[in-house]
Amino acid sequence: MSAFRIILPSDQKSKHMSSIFKRIVFIIAIVTALLFFSLIGAAWYLGAFSSVETSTIHRPVQYFIAAPDSGNYEQALGALNQLKAYLESTSLAVGLPAVMLYDDPMVRPLPKVSTRAAYLLADSVKIDPPNVFLSVPSGNAVSAVIDANPAIAPYKTYPAIREWCERHHLTPDTTGVIIEFYHPDGTIRVEFPVM
């Protein structure tokens, strides 16, 4: 048996190689476009293109049931879930989940900000250990509301708060408690105390 070998003339060989090259370029272009639109879609879904609504408010005295220990910002949502599990085993009526921040996230790197997971209460109540009762005094604050994922929201709300303070000649009260409220509809409201 003899092996047959097809020998293409050089111009046919070059056309064949050109055709393969065009297919590869086309496939790469399609994959790149799919990746690009997937990333844009994911960013849109997470709220990267959401606008922040800011205003100055007077917040009333607020009462909270809070986790016994404070942690850093990255641990806050996990602690909030643990507190929720505890609250489901009680008859305590609670409002919105919240994260209380004790450091200024516009100054200190967000992962190092000291926080406490909490739930808003309608009134002052006795809390059984290990959880604690906290109250936040009334006062002026800048409210920033965004419809975004909690991983994206701080990077949009805190710069918007800083801009609002500068535009309205307000001074952030770095001794006050900053509160992030997590609404059931997916919006996040940040209340940043100001002087």
In a domain, 5, yes or no: no
Whose CA is closest to 131, among 62, 57, 39, 66? 66
Whose CA is closest to 189, among 150, 163, 159? 150
154 and 169 part of one domain: yes
97 and 38 part of one domain: no
Label residue 122 by pLDDT band (50, 70, 90): confident
**What CATH code is carried by the domain that includes residue 173?**
3.20.80.10
Q: What is the average pLDDT value for the chain, to the nearest integer? A: 85
Task: Give the whole-angstrom CA distance, residue 30 versus residue 36.
Answer: 10
Q: Which pLDDT score, from 0 to 100, does residue 131 have? A: 81
Q: Which pLDDT score, from 0 to 100, does residue 14 have? A: 66
In a domain, 24, yes or no: yes
pLDDT of 6 above 60: no
Q: What is the mean pLDDT of residues 147-176?
A: 91
In a domain, 6, yes or no: no
Q: Which domain holds residue 17?
A: 11-46
C-alpha distances (whole Å) from 170 to each of 9, 107, 145 are: 79, 16, 18
> Which residues are 63's β-sheet partners?
121, 135
